[in-house]
Structure 1
Amino acid sequence: MAQFAVIGLGSFGATIATELVGLNHDVIGIDSNKKYVESIADHITHAVIADATDEHVLRELNIQKCEAVVVAIGENIEASILCVLHLKNLGIEKIWAKAKSKPHHMILSHLGISKIIHPEEDMGVRIAQSLSYPMVSRYMALEDNRFIVKVEIKQALHGERFSHLMERALDIKTLIHKRGKDISFSLDPNLILQQGDILVIEGEIESLRRLSARFK
């Protein structure tokens, strides 16, 4: 269990905070808006009404003890930048910050934070991927144009032999097969797939695109 802080509890920040709690982490949520704090208070470890642009306030909250801090401040770019500067002054190494615009991104990048988040763009990519590859329920981008994707076997592939499904995708690695509560990390090529089976596979995007045609 780790401790995280989320500064800015609008819809984006609140989602991050509650998801982290769901993963059994301690989360302190901070916002100057009383309504936002009260709406999430029962769902995270600590919710505080505070001005995150005041370094003394952040120090009093012991935010420097957090493993990482997410700055999810929305429209107020100046407040976002001030907050990041204070976090840097407090010696926090892992800072993720939401960028609202290209100038905002440029300034944050010069501050040397761990990651800059563009939630609207990221969501757009996820929606486009889901529309383009409906068999993919989740995916994670790796380096060098490679992805890990989670796919579910639908009725059309029920009874298909695993080796037949993958015969034109030999460069794709199958990492996990899940059937009900049973999970296997080593697949028998003669495995007969069943509707509802889950496969977690990894490969280059072009190979995954070719394979996706089999799932339609």
Structure 2
Amino acid sequence: MAHFTVIGLGRFGVAASLELIHLGHTVTGVDCDPKIAEKYTEDFTEMVICDATDECALREMDLGNSEAVLIAIGEDMQASLLTTLALKNSGVNNIWVKASTKAHHTIVSKLGVSRIIHPEEEMGIRVAQSLNYPMVNNYLSIGHGLHVVEIPIQACLNEVTLNQLLGDISDNIEPLLVKRDQETFTQLSGDFVLQTNDILLLCGTRAELKYLAPRLV
């Protein structure tokens, strides 16, 4: 379990915070609007009402306890940039920033933050991937042309082995793990037998994974 701080409690900031809490972490929410803070105070581990562009106010929050600080401020680019600078000056190293425009991205990239997020673009890509590959729950690019996909095993694949599923592309796709109820299997041989409702993680190129797609339904 880790602790995170999320600055800016619009829809994106709140959604990220609640998911982190759902995953077992603790979250400090920060917003300058008392009404927003009051609305979500029972959902967060801690709620702070302050102007995050104020470096002195940030220093009082002991942000060193946070695994990362997410700046989720929406359309106010100036506030986002000033908050980023205040965090950097306060010694915070792991800073994630939501960028709303290309100009915002360009400026933030010069400040040495850990990651810049474009929620609308990233969600658009995920939707397109899901439309292209509808039998996959999650689709993650890990670089070098490789992707990790999460596949729910349907009834048609019950009692099918990995060798039978992968067949002629078994040398090009790596089975990473199978989640079955509360168990997780990571040492997967070709004769591992799949069961309905298993969750299978595979790693491979986009072309090989798409070639596999018709066998999953």
TM-based fold match above 0.5? yes
In structure 2, the CA distance between the partners of 1:210 and 1:45, relative to structure 1 (3 Å rule), is same
Residue in structure 2 matched with residue 25 of structure 1 by the alignment: 25
**What is the CA distance between 1:180 and its match in structure 2?**
3.3
* Distance in structure 2 (CA, Å) of the matches to 1:46 and 1:180: 33
2:167 alignment partner, SS class:
coil
1:136 alignment partner, SS class:
coil
Question: Which runs of 5 or more residues in structure 2 are unaligned?
Answer: none
2:93 alignment partner, SS class:
coil
Q: Which runs of 4+ in 1 moved over 4 A?
A: none
* Distance in structure 1 (CA, Å) of the matches to 2:202 and 2:144: 16
Q: For residues 42-96 of structure 1, what are the alpha-carbon distances to aligned partners after superposition, in whole Å with 9 as ceiling and x for unaligned?
A: 1111111211111111112222442311000001000000000000101111100
Q: TM-score, normalised by structure 2?
A: 0.92
Q: For residues 82-136 of structure 1, what are the alpha-carbon distances to aligned partners after superposition, in whole Å with 9 as ceiling and x for unaligned?
A: 0000001011111000000000000000111110000001111111111111111
* Distance in structure 2 (CA, Å) of the matches to 1:180 and 1:64: 37
Give me the CA root mean square deviation: 1.7
Question: Does the CA contact (< 8 Å) of 1:177 and 1:198 recur in 2?
Answer: yes
**What is the CA distance between 1:199 and its match in structure 2?**
1.0
Residue in structure 1 matched with residue 180 of structure 2 by the alignment: 179
**What is the CA distance between 1:156 and its match in structure 2?**
3.1
**What is the CA distance between 1:191 and its match in structure 2?**
4.2
2:91 alignment partner, SS class:
coil
* Distance in structure 2 (CA, Å) of the matches to 1:180 and 1:91: 42
Amino acid in structure 1 at the alignment position of 2:103: P
Question: Which runs of 5 or more residues in structure 1 are unaligned?
Answer: none
2:211 alignment partner, SS class:
helix
Amino acid in structure 2 at the alignment position of 1:206: A
**What is the CA distance between 1:159 and its match in structure 2?**
4.3
Question: Does the CA contact (< 8 Å) of 1:168 and 1:211 recur in 2?
Answer: no
* Number of aligned residues: 216
Residue in structure 1 matched with residue 10 of structure 2 by the alignment: 10
- Residue identity over aligned pairs, in percent, reads 43
